[in-house]
Chains A and B, each alone.
Chain A
Amino acid sequence: MDESRSRVRVFTALILVIFAILALRLVKLQLIDRQSHTGASQDNSMREHRVQAPRGRFFDRNGVLMVENEPTYSIFITPQYFEEETIPLLAELLSVADTTMTRQVQDAKKWSMHKRTLLRSGVSVEELGLILEQRHRLHGIDFDLTQKRRYLTQARATHALGYVREISDKTLHKRVEEGYRRGDAIGKAGLELEYESAVRGRVGAEYKMVNVKGQVVEDYLGGERNHAPVSGNELNLTLDADLQAFAESLFVGKRGGVIALDPNNGEVLAMHSAPDYNLEMFTGYLDAEVWDEVVSAPEKPLFNRVTQSVFMPGSTFKPLVALLALHAGAIDAKTKVYCGGGHPRGRGQFFACLDTHGSINVVEAIKESCNTFFFEMMRIMDVNSLNRFATSLGFGSSPSLDIAAGEIADGRIPDSTYFNSRFGPAPQFWNEGTTMNLGVGQGDLLVSPLQLARYMAALSNGGKLVSPHLVREIVNLETQEVVRPNDQMVEQVALNPVYVRLVKEGMARVVSEESDWLQIPGIDSYGKTGSAENSRADGDDSVFILAAPAQNPTIVLAVLVENAGFGSTAAGPIGSFMAERYLTGRIDPKRNWLMNLMFEKNSAPMVAKSE
């Protein structure tokens, strides 16, 4: 009996010991180490689903909606669930090569085995339908409703607006702390790039519970941790969509660029560089080959000719030289220079004028675009004065613009140091004869259309050197807070109004007397044409600067048409038409013939200069 009882006791003890071991183990797992196991189970089953915020919309200066968003589908892959043998099927459904798909899958794997990675954005409803039909075979593939850019007006404004693309690995590494994740969209050019932080919005999150195969089962914790995305700030642009579209139509078939500013505040009314590229191509799947074509096209559509292209300003520089001479006291309104068809003191050669102008004063010289007069100006002025004056008017350094930071050309205004290093010390190696051709905008001068427009604005607004900008207001939709980021950036240049009036008079007569093609019906304006030699063999570039109305200009512009000859034949009429359209909203029917001529005009094909 005792034996039996003791065995019952021993066995009971054994039971209790074993259960105590298990209970202690559970105390450790469920009470002490709970946190780490909770983390482990969340890593497994909880997926953060990023809900992309709609990017801020863009409105033009008149409140016309230019850029908004529209829904699109994006296909994602979670590599840990994906089966490699379905690559051909997936490639077929997304109509890409197997090898492309294999590479994309490998890239996604490298990034993370268990995180979702964007495989393809801009998928149409039809494509999505085909994928969904095969969904049971495509493990680890799912989709999101996301937003893509939608352009609403005729204006493409390619270089101004810029585009949005999937963030690159390189950028991602730098900006991951700002909350970017693989597959997110990010502005890559233009306003989309420059105002990225403003228009991006806040990404929302949905926490989903997924099962072991990666299928979404339900909202995690009933969705209590989800938060909705917040739309990006809206931009009120300075662009006039109608003027922009009109400018683009005038540049069909041409290479060149135009920028129109409000001279009083530097607002960019229109900016176009031709040829451009189609922003629509970034809203769907961008085929690498298509993109390569854009990148490597000889016409360089990615190149913004308004801000990046520099050239000799030609005669458009003459008003500046005239102002310089007047301010320096070297001449006055009555000073006359004799033009016998050229200037004899060129560096070992005769510098020709286009005509024989006889004795001519500064106003007439501007109107006639007399080279002799301006050669003489540079003979009597020294090159450093020109450098200082031109620099004060914004030449020789890159103007600020709220896009394309770091890509805006400086241009070049030479000074004595420049010539010394180029030729050797003066006067043995160079003298005023060397620098005389600067007076007619040739030689070692380089300017951009953006600089020309800014200089024209300073002439028109009493010497304020404005900072051109494309964004007037940033509107926070949540708080209704409005920020004006570009308001207070103006430098004052000391210009004597009397001298400015003289120069303007000459320029006004360029428009009213020199050519029928430049005059805006019913509106006085002043401007200057130019033809710029370039490094190519296909003809001079046509340049034109204009301000209108003459009394109190509200638009200034600089136009460049590559290898289209004299300023008055291409750039001039284009500038004139744009000012007319902006000021009157229409084109006088009497000038329709000329407008059609401009529409039809093409830049000559590009020819590189032979060695």
Chain B
Amino acid sequence: MRAWYRNLDPLVLIAWLGLVVLGLAAIYSATNGVAAEFSDFEPRENFDKQVMWLGISLAGILIALALPIRFFQVSGFPIYIVTVLLLLAALAFGREVNGAKSWLYFGSIGLQVSELAKVGTILAVAQLVGIRRPKTMDIRFALMVVGLILLPAVLIVLQNDTGTALVFFGLIPIALFWSGLELNLLLLMIAPAVAGYFAIVSMPTAIVFSVLFTGFMWWKTRDRRIGVITGLFTGGTAAVTTLAITTLLAPHQIQRVLAFTNPGAEEFRLGVGYHQVNSMAAIGSGGFSGKGFLQGTQTQGGYVMEQSTDFIFSVIGEEFGFIGSMIVIGLFSLLLIRIVMLGANMKHPFGVMVAGGTAGVYLIHIFINMGMATSVLPVIGIPLPFLSYGGSALLANSALLAIVLSLHLRRDDFSIYGY
């Protein structure tokens, strides 16, 4: 028998290692660069803390790799319940950081419980899917999946951490997707969101999208009812969104929503658009090869707020340029596609859901975070997996990855239910 570690997937590990190293470099630059002596917004010790959390995460990974499949299958619900309790505790006793009451402190170590809740939620959903082993979806089952995810999501909304809550909301279609929901229904769920986005960015695009998509659904299903519903969903969302940003919302809310479409505009650039103007200036001025490690003027000048956490990508974009950006995208692509493939390899709904959920959560994080840093999306404060400073996120994301690797390592131990 081969040594267990020989079955570890090297590509995933390489991608993980590459991202973590890049992240540490960027965090070092943001916190220990030439500007560090002036910097009270990016404490030097954050780099050391991140290294410490990397150690903790490594330990977590090793533990997860040592645990049998059974453990994860059995502990899914208990972990979920514990994380929900922790979320409640954070609501009750938590400390408010940046307006969100999502931190629990154990001595000097703070835990962002909402990050850990992702692990519990994915395991619980996977366990649900594993137990039910449905050949086809039924509505009750779908509602249970949705409920499992909505509970922590609502708690996180109550904590006022909308960014992280958004990840949970995004997890709903992904979980349904991996648990076998009909693709048409899934498309129907996602389409209004796309239509709404287009309505904000450009009304004509939204109309074209709604018409084309409705036509596509009608053509695909040959079902007039589906066509009508699709049309109502997409067109309705676009209309409601337009109405909201023109009349319904308060001016400051409208500003927040619209700012990302033109953050440099006079009315936004010093207010809600400030982050994105400076983030784009940092990334754009990096050019093809970047300004060099510790040489980014935006980074070293501290112009991008939250540059070691939510806007870590601006550091990479500025100092390592387009090459650095593409390396990040390449590593993420490798990591995500590989995780999905590992999941498929497991040939068991539990494994598929854990891997698919993990990849999904990463994808949402990456899209929202990098979209925000490059002004494709509005400012939504969530970290970039493995790159952003933040111990809880690093631990949670590493744990999810380790669980996927661990399950894949022992995929032969899955009972041969399969699909």
- Is there contact, CB below 8 Å, between A26 and B344? no
- Is there contact, CB below 8 Å, between B38 and A211? yes
- Is there contact, CB below 8 Å, between B34 and A218? yes
Interface bits A7-37 vs B (CB < 8 Å: 1, else 0): 1101110111011011101110111011011
On whether A30 and B287 interact (CB within 8 A), knowing A5-B344, A217-B34, the answer reads: yes
B262 to A: closest C-beta gap in Å: 14
On whether A11 and B356 interact (CB within 8 A), knowing A19-B333, A22-B376, A27-B322, the answer reads: yes
Q: A1's closest neighbor in chain B, by CB?
A: B419
Q: A36's closest neighbor in chain B, by CB?
A: B284
- Is there contact, CB below 8 Å, between B302 and A15? no
On whether A37 and B340 interact (CB within 8 A), knowing A11-B177, A19-B332, A22-B374, the answer reads: no
- Is there contact, CB below 8 Å, between A45 and B297? yes
- Is there contact, CB below 8 Å, between A42 and B284? no
- Is there contact, CB below 8 Å, between A41 and B340? no
- Is there contact, CB below 8 Å, between B303 and A30? no
Complex CA gap A10/B352 in Å reads 14
- Is there contact, CB below 8 Å, between A26 and B283? yes
- Is there contact, CB below 8 Å, between A26 and B317? yes
B132 to A: closest C-beta gap in Å: 16
B49 to A: closest C-beta gap in Å: 22
Q: B341's closest neighbor in chain A, by CB?
A: A8
B313 to A: closest C-beta gap in Å: 10
A479 within 8 A of B: no
- Is there contact, CB below 8 Å, between A29 and B283? yes
- Is there contact, CB below 8 Å, between B284 and A33? yes
A249 within 8 A of B: no
- Is there contact, CB below 8 Å, between A11 and B359? yes
A40 within 8 A of B: yes
Chain B residues near A25 (CB-CB < 8 A)? 371, 374, 376
- Is there contact, CB below 8 Å, between A212 and B325? no
Complex CA gap A212/B366 in Å reads 27
- Is there contact, CB below 8 Å, between B322 and A37? no
Q: B374's closest neighbor in chain A, by CB?
A: A25
B277 within 8 A of A: yes
- Is there contact, CB below 8 Å, between B303 and A4? no
Chain B residues near A33 (CB-CB < 8 A)? 284
Chain A residues near B278 (CB-CB < 8 A)? 44
Chain A residues near B283 (CB-CB < 8 A)? 26, 29-30, 37
- Is there contact, CB below 8 Å, between B297 and A31? no
- Is there contact, CB below 8 Å, between A31 and B288? yes
- Is there contact, CB below 8 Å, between B363 and A37? no
Complex CA gap A497/B337 in Å reads 111
B183 within 8 A of A: yes
Within 8 A of A (CB), among B231-280: 264, 277-278, 280
Q: Which listed residue (B39, B344, B363) contacts A15, Cβ 8 A?
A: B363
Interface bits B106-121 vs A (CB < 8 Å: 1, else 0): 0000000000000000
18 intermolecular pairs with C-beta atoms under 8 Å apart:
A4-B352, A5-B344, A7-B178, A11-B340, A14-B363, A18-B366, A22-B367, A25-B374, A27-B322, A34-B287, A37-B281, A37-B283, A40-B277, A41-B284, A46-B297, A209-B300, A215-B38, A217-B38
B residues whose Cβ falls under 8 Å from a Cβ of A? 34-35, 38-39, 177-178, 180, 183, 264, 277-278, 280-288, 297-298, 300-303, 317-318, 321-322, 325-326, 329, 332-333, 336-337, 340-341, 343-344, 347, 352, 356, 359-360, 363, 366-367, 370-371, 374, 376, 419
